[in-house]
Structure 1
Amino acid sequence: MKASSSFPRMPFRLWPLIACLYVSQGIPFGLAMEALPASLRHAGTDLQALAWLPLVGLPWVLKWLWAPWVDNHWSPRTGRRRSWILPMQCLVLAALLAVALLGLSVQTMPWILGLAVTASLASATQDVATDALVAEQFATESLPMANAIQVASTMVGFFYGGPVFLMLYGTLGLSWAIVGLVLPIAASLVLTLSWREPQALRVAASTGKASQWHFLRSGRNAWALVVAACLSAITVVACHGLGKLLLVDAQWPLARVGQVGMLGGAFTILVGCGGGAWLVRRFGAWPAFQLGIASAGLSAVTWAWLATQTPAMPMTAVVMATVLASIGSGCASVAIMTAAMNFCRRRTQAGTDMTMVQSARDLGETMASSFLIALAARVGYKEGFLLGLGLAVLTMLATAWMMRSSRAKQPHAPGS
């Protein structure tokens, strides 16, 4: 399913548009995964009831099931991507306003869970259309920076919907906290309403029907993207997830663990994403991806050493391990998403193609979170981190083979 039409040069307004779209998509996820558990527990909700909240993230793992529907069904008058982005944003806004009306309490817990699932489903569906919009509208040389904005903005949205919401809720109350969440989503809605999709995009969309099968039968490049996305996610989780648990078991105060987490988030956004975009433009997506995974591997080595020093873990080494993992995470994410967009921009089912890669990454994160914790409980933290190192080496070897295969088939292009 090759795209035959060439699209006009993108307008500058697309930069703030995609930044706001990705921020708005991260807000419901941060709200469900970080803010709601703390808020509902504070209101007296039983822990067994809160155990259902992680299921809110399932739409992000399963969105590949309906991604072809997003590619294939749309209104010519509204536009192929705006037809999905606009109603999904309205659905998220409606869900948040309903939370403000219901309040957070033990009695409203079932309704809150339903609204959280609705907002997550809408955000995951919007993500399919947003990723496709970026792949179709941005020039090849702009994709590294666009994907840096994607990863950074989604993280900003997650923090905004999580810790920032909790601060607003604790100081101003639920209604004003919800207002704070609604503002960036409303801003992205206004920007989307003011933008019109090029006619060339609508013409190209009519050349074929999207499906998961079309992606899977695209050959080695498609499978390479899926494998790299999944393995890189597992490698990063081995550092980030287990690292925090190790600090808690070493009797670090929760506030200090939170500070380490915020430091990691800042380095992911500022250095990992920004540096990743520069590396992709300078060396290409796959070499930049390998550098990111190498950084995560060094983090795993540092964490493995720290696991032998507990409880007297030096702060300098903890910071080093956190920074290496954060830079590796941001760089690898920008690189793999750029490689995926370079792959799917030449085709007519960008939403489905990007979602297959994204879902592979989300699946890797989900599986790794449970498996690595169980492994650490059985054999120890050091062995869990060493597994992360082994996965980093495996990922680098696999991507080296992918790079050689890709070079043998086509000439090098910037960011490819």
Structure 2
Amino acid sequence: MSTSLDSIHITPRTPRTARDMRHDQQNGIPLSGAGVDVDSDEVEMRLLETPAAGFEDAAEGEKSEGARTRISSEDRRAMVLLCVLYLIQGVPLGLALGSIPFLLREHLSYSQLAVFALSNYPYSLKLLWSPIVDSLFVPSVGRRKSWIIPMQTVVGAMMLWMSFGAEDLIASSADHVYWLTFVYTTMVLLSATQGASYRRWALTLLSQENLSYASTCQTIGLNSGYFASFTVFLALNSEAFSSKWGIPRLSLDTYLRFWSVACFSVTIWLTFFQKERKEQLNDDELSVRTVYMQIWSIIKLKHVQSILFMYVFAKVGFAANDAAFSLKLVEHGLGKEDLAIAVLIDFPFQIFGGWIAARYSTGDKPLRPWLFAFWPRLGFCLIGMAVLHWFPTPPISMAFFVYLIVHTVLMSFTQTIQFVGISAFHTRISDPVIGGTYMTLLNTFTNLGGTWPKYFILKGIDYFTVAHCAAPASDAGATSLTQSATECVSDAGKAACKALGGTCATERDGYYIVNALCMAFAVVFLVTYIAPTARRLQALPTSKWRVMSS
């Protein structure tokens, strides 16, 4: 069951031990490029892939270091701090990329939701400004705190300000789509900037022997915040869930107010009680130009150009399913709380799925499972269309709900296979001298491939949808009036039609057409370009991917 949350995943860091880092330092190799590090956490909004990647990475680090390294009390405190910081980051992301689109679906058409979907973009594009974040700072405040403190302060202030009337704004969202998009885009932008600072700060917060735990903290914290704002909030915000369990309904206003206080509290702690370790910086690390030149030197490699082009269009086949399938389920009568429960049940399966997928992504052909998973994933998109077409009249039976969960688990497993395979390939080909920059560039394009189609998908659904409002005619002698009404696809439009004494009737659902077009493109592109290109690229020696060898 794809959700807006599926746009997020955390890319596993290039495995590096303390011995590797000491070797690099002795040979004058910087630990990572300025502004980007080996812990890049690009968000493609595959929430259910994130835990798998993070836990696998944590297990690998523990296996290599845990037997001979004890975690000091200082490192434990640093790990707790990192988890809390990532938790704070995950809360606004879970709102903007997760629960808010489902709340807006009751009031907006798909074309209007397409506008709001633009708020997803900053998280996939943070490579554009992350070198600036890492290079410009106030020495007296600290290299990381110079960005973290103001970003968290603004995020906390925005959540506090929004808490005074957030639900009213959602209710009248049809008249404030652009304002809502601006507000949540700003929050995502600030959260992405926070994440860029967190990753680099982890390199000095933790000792070198325990750096492998940085991605574990990232996984635990970011997923916890995301789940709180998506799965947990959607359930507690539901009137049906509250009535069923006899608990008060959690309003968006109250939720935002609580997390604004939490955000301010953590920021105060950072400001007055948490100090940064001093870093020895050289001119290259402080040069924004150096990192941008590294990025450009990577892009100039012809093999990189081929793979970037492939990434930009590789996810088009799944774009309609990822962007609108869950929204369509809710539209057909599945409760938002049921959707949240289904995602929650799927979570532990993805941890296990990531471990299984990792076993088949090793060796000299890491892209083989990525290619193999294309076909079943497209098959589940096709099955999803059948599910919507024959969706039963609510309330749905337990048997059908179990089927939806099974469909969710299997479809997410194919996503996990692709994610782990592509991550293993990135780890293999990245130039170790500028590994952080290299990995982040590749991950940015994989994420962008899943983000950029969303706007056009949602616009296309409305464009191909044919709906009418059949209302009694006002003229004497006439029996009825049938008027084309695109807004009949939204609950607000249906309510307006009902106010005229009419009913909305959808003659053609544009989702099926858009999904079919996406899948047809995917099959052609997979056979003619992706498959031969991927096989050719994974067969190349690693020397062909090195910047210096070009």
The percentage of aligned residue pairs carrying the same residue is 20
1:323 equivalent in alignment to 2:409: yes
What is the alpha-carbon root mean square deviation over aligned residues? 5.0
1:404 equivalent in alignment to 2:486: no
Aligned with residue 212 of structure 1, among 277, 289, 292: 292
Q: For each residue in 1:312-362, what CA deviation from the matched residue of structure 2 results, as whole angstroms up to 9, or x when unmatched?
A: 7995775454323312334544565576578477339x4x65654444234
Aligned with residue 303 of structure 1, among 349, 360, 381: 381
Q: Which residue of 2 aligns with 1:59?
A: 122
Q: For each residue in 1:158-207, what CA deviation from the matched residue of structure 2 results, as whole angstroms up to 9, or x when unmatched?
A: 34224534555662445531244347646865579646346257787247
Q: Which residue of 2 aligns with 1:414?
A: none
Secondary structure of 2:376 counterpart? helix
Q: Which residue of 1 aligns with 2:29?
A: 4
Q: Which residue of 1 aligns with 2:488?
A: none
Write the mapping of 1:65-214 to structure 2, written as runs, cut at 5 A: 65-101=128-164, 103-106=166-169, 114-133=182-201, 150=218, 154-166=222-234, 171-182=249-260, 185=263, 189=267, 190=269, 194=274, 196-197=276-277, 199-200=279-280, 205-206=285-286, 209-214=289-294
1:122 deviation in Å?
Answer: 0.7
1:346 equivalent in alignment to 2:430: no
1:142 deviation in Å?
Answer: 7.1
1:147 deviation in Å?
Answer: 5.2
Further displaced range: 184-193 or 322-331: 184-193
1:386 deviation in Å?
Answer: 4.9
8 Å CA contact 2:142, 2:276 repeated in 1: yes
User: Cα gap change, 1:344/1:273 in structure 2, threshold over 3 Å: closer, same or farther?
Assistant: farther
Q: Distance in 2 between matches of 1:346 and 1:378?
A: 47
User: Cα gap change, 1:36/1:134 in structure 2, threshold over 3 Å: closer, same or farther?
Assistant: same
Q: Which residue of 2 aligns with 1:254?
A: 334
Q: Distance in 2 between matches of 1:141 and 1:224?
A: 36
User: Cα gap change, 1:65/1:362 in structure 2, threshold over 3 Å: closer, same or farther?
Assistant: same
Q: Distance in 1 between matches of 2:337 and 2:186?
A: 29
User: Cα gap change, 1:166/1:338 in structure 2, threshold over 3 Å: closer, same or farther?
Assistant: same
1:298 deviation in Å?
Answer: 0.9
Q: Distance in 1 between matches of 2:386 and 2:163?
A: 47
1:215 deviation in Å?
Answer: 1.0
Secondary structure of 1:199 counterpart? coil
Q: For each residue in 1:84-111, what CA deviation from the matched residue of structure 2 results, as whole angstroms up to 9, or x when unmatched?
A: 2332222211211121245543589687
Q: Distance in 1 between matches of 2:227 and 2:136?
A: 33
User: Cα gap change, 1:254/1:176 in structure 2, threshold over 3 Å: closer, same or farther?
Assistant: same
Letter in 2 for 1:323: V
1:390 deviation in Å?
Answer: 5.5
8 Å CA contact 1:30, 1:158 repeated in 2: yes
1:294 equivalent in alignment to 2:372: yes
8 Å CA contact 2:156, 2:261 repeated in 1: no
1:381 deviation in Å?
Answer: 4.1
Q: Distance in 2 between matches of 1:392 and 1:149?
A: 36
Q: For each residue in 1:38-77, what CA deviation from the matched residue of structure 2 results, as whole angstroms up to 9, or x when unmatched?
A: 66788x8999987753333343244333233113212345
Letter in 1 for 2:130: A
8 Å CA contact 1:32, 1:116 repeated in 2: yes
Letter in 2 for 1:294: F
Aligned residues: 401
8 Å CA contact 2:95, 2:229 repeated in 1: yes
Letter in 2 for 1:347: I
Structure 1 runs not aligned, ≥5 long: 412-416
User: Cα gap change, 1:38/1:6 in structure 2, threshold over 3 Å: closer, same or farther?
Assistant: closer
User: Cα gap change, 1:330/1:187 in structure 2, threshold over 3 Å: closer, same or farther?
Assistant: farther
User: Cα gap change, 1:58/1:215 in structure 2, threshold over 3 Å: closer, same or farther?
Assistant: same
Q: Distance in 2 between matches of 1:37 and 1:273?
A: 26
Q: Distance in 1 between matches of 2:374 and 2:274?
A: 41
User: Cα gap change, 1:56/1:246 in structure 2, threshold over 3 Å: closer, same or farther?
Assistant: closer
Letter in 2 for 1:176: T
Q: Which residue of 2 aligns with 1:368?
A: 453
1:21 deviation in Å?
Answer: 3.7
1:34 deviation in Å?
Answer: 4.6
User: Cα gap change, 1:126/1:39 in structure 2, threshold over 3 Å: closer, same or farther?
Assistant: same
User: If each structure's helix is expressed as a fraction of its own residues, which one has the higher value?
Assistant: 1
Further displaced range: 70-79 or 11-20: 11-20
8 Å CA contact 1:228, 1:395 repeated in 2: yes
